[in-house]
Amino acid sequence: MPASDPAPGHAADRALLERAARAAGEIALSFTGDALDVRYKAADGSPVTAADLAVNARLEELLRSAQPDYGWLSEESVDNAARRAAERVFIVDPIDGTRSFIAGEDTWAHSLAVAENGVITAAAIYLPKRDLLYSAALGQGAVLNGVPLRTTLTGTLDDAEVLAPRPVIDSPYWRVPLPPIRRAHRPSLAYRLGLVAEGRFDAMLTFRPTWEWDIAAGTLLLQEAGARVTDRLGRPLRFNARHPQHPGVVAANPALHADIMGRLTLAL
């Protein structure tokens, strides 16, 4: 393999993210009851726990000690504009689905990714309570616990089973009345993306503004599993933006993605 080929670096980053995700799981599972110290963020009222902060600190230590030249973007860290100048950046959600975590459920996840010049090149999503480890490297496929992932081939929304919050099916978003949609939901956005990548659901839709740390890892999983992933307007997702947020996500195999986009009202 030529020395200029970046693939070995992507594979090494994936292995690093996998190790870090498992370490994060050990920390998160050690927090119970009053030790969670649940607080609420002034900006949006979302919960944060002592576990979120402990996981964030450990991930930053592990990842940045391994790759000190990489930038850092995390839900639980104060944003630093220096990340914008970095060629590669870690994009991390220490605990995606914090409300689920607080409730003692098992569908919360650690979501870790590396972006290079706006493109996700390595990813890991780990659900510690289910021991599910999704991971991917650019051009090298996506796996769940070592088993390769592929999306479904369902071609139309009429036949699809979709992961989406209830407001997504409201009429203002669509040009014409929708067929009855088989809809389900999971608290963790990262897990929703993983479920579509492994073919358990046909598509994932969210139309609310969406933070990069929620979708960075899942975007690569899906792309490597054969999906097309865009924002609600059909535009490709680019990461490490100045304001790291996108106007929703539409993720499905290319035929189903095209069918969904053809039905959406874009000018909202």
Is 91 marked as binding a ligand? no
E strand or H helix at 212, and its extent? helix 212-224
CA dist 240 and 8 (Å) reads: 22
CA dist 48 and 252 (Å) reads: 31
Q: What SS3 class is residue 128?
A: coil
Is 120 marked as binding a ligand? no
DSSP string, 73-89: EETTS---GGGGG-SEE
CA dist 196 and 200 (Å) reads: 6
Is 37 marked as binding a ligand? no
Is 131 marked as binding a ligand? no
Is 202 marked as binding a ligand? no
Type of residue numbered 120: I
CA dist 49 and 98 (Å) reads: 8
Q: What SS3 class is residue 205?
A: strand
Q: Which residues are annotated as a binding site?
A: 75, 93, 95-96, 214
Q: Which residues are annotated as a binding site for Mg(2+)?
A: 75, 93, 95-96, 214
